[in-house]
Amino acid sequence: MKVKIIPILSDNYSYLIIDKENKFCSAVDPASPEEIIPFLEKEKIGLKNILNTHYHSDHTAGNLELKDKFKCKIYGPDKEKDQIPGIDVALKENDTLKINDYSVKIFETPGHTAGHIIYWFEKEKVVFTGDTLFVLGCGKLFEGTPEIMWNSLLKIRNLPKKTQIYCGHEYSKNNADFALSVEKNNNKLIERSDEINKLINENSFTVPTTLEKEIECNPFLRADVDNIKKNLEMENASPVEVFGEIRTKKDIF
């Protein structure tokens, strides 16, 4: 599975899932056509599908221009179908679809937005998480409670550990700094932070990450881990309460 990472806007990632043999691709959250189209034209690749994770304009603003130019089909969350420009197919929990030659399963992961979805390529062990899960972070709770978002993150945490995660933004440096403020005695996190700083200094991408790395280091996936609870002096709190405290701290970090 060939995934082309396209950095767009100020700190977003869009992704092209490329079928080299048939010279077409599917784009995940291609909000900026002026950064997508030159690559497609240079490589002589058509755009067959757009996969939107949620309705925010920094993920969907390119829909109509790209659809007009390439006649592509637009997929997005059913619960946000009235907010997704040009949507053709509305997707719900446990829906499956064929993208290129791949089978994709849909999970609803509300929290950042009420209808957010992620795209899980089961055989390839690849997931596009939009703004639900980032490298060492998670999305702000614009339209959800800590409980809603924690349950969404558990869906991702339950995927195979080798899963490659492609997220919606490049926030990794700030997320690493914050994670260390919550769990500075996590040796794997210290190593991961050094790795991220090295990648950024080299102008390299910090995606994809793996689920295994996130389980070891991402505080938002570790709200039920004793070390985090102890560091926050919340040993007797529920995972939802701990997650809520971590999210509150990140919002003002």
54 classed as catalytic = yes
Among 11, 56, 177, 226, which one carries the catalytic annotation?
A: 56
pLDDT digits (tens, 9 = 90+) for 107-130: 999 999 999 999 999 999 999 999
Question: What average pLDDT does the segment 29-57 reach?
Answer: 97
Q: What percent of the chain has pLDDT over 90?
A: 97
The answer to whether the CB of 33 falls within 8 A of the CB of 55 is: no
- Long-range residue pairs from 92-98, CB within 8 A, at least 24 positions apart, any chain: none
- CATH number of the domain enclosing 177: 3.60.15.10
- pLDDT value of position 20: 87
Among 19, 29, 116, 131, which one carries the catalytic annotation?
A: 131
112 classed as catalytic = yes
- pLDDT category of residue 18 using cuts at 50, 70 and 90: very high
The answer to whether the CB of 9 falls within 8 A of the CB of 32 is: yes
116 classed as catalytic = no
Residue 63: C-alpha distances to residues 14, 29, 60, 66, 98 (Å): 12, 8, 5, 5, 20
- pLDDT value of position 28: 98
95 classed as catalytic = no
Among 19, 29, 59, 116, which one carries the catalytic annotation?
A: 59
Q: If we measure between CA atoms, which residue out of 146, 151, 155 comes closest to residue 107?
A: 155
Residue 139 CA to residue 135 CA, distance in Å, equals 11
What SS3 state is found at 223? Answer: coil
Q: Which domain holds residue 13?
A: 2-251
Q: In this structure, is the dihedral angle defined by the CA atoms of residues 1, 173, 252 and 245, taken in order, positive or negative?
A: positive
Into how many domains does the chain fold? 1
56 classed as catalytic = yes
169 classed as catalytic = yes
**Strand-pair category, 102-108 with 96-99:** antiparallel
82 classed as catalytic = no
Mean pLDDT score across all residues of the chain = 97
pLDDT digits (tens, 9 = 90+) for 135-166: 999 999 999 999 999 999 999 999 999 999 99
- pLDDT value of position 198: 97
Which residues are 139's β-sheet partners? none
Q: Where are the alpha helices (DSSP H) in 33-109?
A: 33-43, 57-60, 63-70
Among 101, 112, 116, 177, which one carries the catalytic annotation?
A: 112
pLDDT digits (tens, 9 = 90+) for 202-236: 999 999 999 999 999 999 999 999 999 999 999 99
- pLDDT category of residue 93 using cuts at 50, 70 and 90: very high
- 9 pLDDT higher than 90: yes
pLDDT digits (tens, 9 = 90+) for 97-108: 998 889 999 999
- pLDDT category of residue 22 using cuts at 50, 70 and 90: confident
Among 19, 29, 116, 169, which one carries the catalytic annotation?
A: 169
Among 29, 54, 78, 251, which one carries the catalytic annotation?
A: 54
Among 58, 78, 101, 116, which one carries the catalytic annotation?
A: 58
